[in-house]
Amino acid sequence: MIPDMSLPMTYNSSTARATQLAVALLLVAAPISACKDALTENPRDRISTEAFFQTAADAKAAIAATYRPLSTGSLWGTNLQWALNAATDESRVGPEEENPNIVALTQLAWTTTNPYIAGSNSSGGAWAGLYQMITRANLVLDKVPAITMDETQKNQILAEAKFLRALGYFYLVRLYGDVPLVLTPEQQEAQSARTPQAEVFAQIVKDATEAEAVLPATWTATDKGRATKGAAEALLAEQYIWRKDWPNAALNAKKIIDSGIYGLQPNYINAFLPGSQNRNEEIFAAQSSSATGAPAIDIAAWEYPRAMNPNSNGGWGTWQPLQSFINSYPAGDYRREVSFFTSGIDPAGKVVTFLPHVYKFRPTQRPGQQDVNWPIYRYADVLLMYAEALNEQGQTAAAIDYVNMIRARARNGTGAENRASPANLTPALTQAQARAAIFDERKWELAFEGKRWFDLVHQGFPAFQAAESSDPTVIPTNIQPTRMVWPIPQAQIDLNPALTQNPGY
């Protein structure tokens, strides 16, 4: 099991009862077929989950623990961050890397047992991390309704659980295709077969829509990082775009735009610096902050160069930008200037130069508890989703206006500049030209945020093939339609014979 002692929000998580609840949640944190007796197990050193769900504090601690997997090594702490970045035309695994399982990420040479794709055991990897979050959400939805507490707070907690369950399933269907749809603790005990994507998407829409109706528009300062109405709307918009339901995608993205709550930071880099949860561009993120108690998403360790390690700003350079990607930015684009660096201070205090590395995420210190979040939904992303949805409905000129908002911010540079590049797109573009321009803008604006992989798959195999073929670290014979879907971890199939493997693995 993945250790799970800390809680990601400020819900009195230092109390003994909240800590005990986190331990109890370990009983239901395993993959869906791995702990058939977990819900009834009650050894002397553990208290059953039934004994915990008694008070409002228990409910708050439980939903806090449900957020936590997003920031752990199974998801954005390591595995998703590595795999989704290294496997695109944005970046590669660093040339210094000797671990063949890590190198395989950039080669598209995945296997059903690669620990960074499938996990090192039945409790690791993205599959297990996402089901861990879903399982905890299911437990909250099953147990919290019976607790006597403030009804508004209760309903908000239940809405958060629905949002997190919907988000978990949205990642699962995009990565793996059909996946078991598990909605109750009892269903977790069964060895479920894979559910058709249409049914999973129907549940995603149901959960996210119900969450949107209840979640607050904003939270107070002490609860920043919790899901909001805007987060649910962003999830709805993105999954509608994935399914090419353009009217509903536009409808949900426009709700966020019209709310007046969110906006673009004047300086692009400010959207990623410490404290982003307190700025209006962040809609939802995997939290990484000592203030919230979330586990550290050690972005700097994986993106900063080895030549600076173990300096406080050093890292391992696990994934590094491709020069072809850097060169693709418009000349003079401020986003290129602030997203990469090629020199720093080594442990001896000397200035060293190195191959380009990502410099978009800049924690206050490294090593130690990181204080930069991993963005899942930003306002810039929503503007580009809205632009895409408008363009696909034939409203190309209107779509270009929203892309140009992104470009105007880039021209502002540090916030008060007036650069010439990137110039506004002309509203005279054809629909096909606008489609290509929107995807390019997403490539530059959302670089290294785990979006590029999904954008390539969303566009279809020709776009996927063209992008992957431009990456010299990819083994050409691995550029196949089957590689647009991840393999089901062999450890999960061993535990649950009802699961079938994806084609090509």
Better-scored residue on pLDDT, 81 or 13 = 81
Written out in words, the top-level CATH class of the domain with range 1-225+449-505 is mainly alpha
Specify the pTM: 0.91
> Residue 7: CA atoms inside 13 Å, Cβ hemisphere, count?
30
The answer to whether 81 and 166 have CB atoms below 8 angstroms apart is no
Q: Determine the 3-state secondary structure of 498 from DSSP.
A: coil
Cα distance between residue 313 and residue 304, in whole Å: 7
pLDDT in tens, 341-359: 999 888 788 899 999 999 9
CA nearest to 68, candidates 13, 142, 118: 13
pLDDT in tens, 134-180: 999 999 999 999 999 999 999 999 999 999 999 999 999 999 999 99
Q: Provide mean pLDDT across the span 71-87.
A: 90
pLDDT in tens, 265-299: 999 999 999 888 889 999 999 988 654 556 778 78
Cα distance between residue 257 and residue 254, in whole Å: 5
* pLDDT for res 40: 30
Find all residues with CB under 8 Å of 483, minimum gap 6, and list them: 108, 110, 504
pLDDT in tens, 429-472: 999 999 999 999 999 999 999 999 999 999 999 999 999 999 99
Percent of the chain with pLDDT over 90: 70
Cα distance between residue 320 and residue 90, in whole Å: 8
* pLDDT for res 318: 87
Angle between helices 452-459 and 431-445 (to 10 degrees): 160
Q: Scanning the structure block, which residue is given the tokens 């995945």?
A: 110
Greatest CA separation for the chain: 71
CA nearest to 380, candidates 475, 449, 299: 449
pLDDT in tens, 208-222: 999 999 999 999 988
In the chain, domain spans: 1-225+449-505, 299-366
pLDDT above 80: residue 86: yes
pLDDT in tens, 466-483: 999 999 999 999 999 999
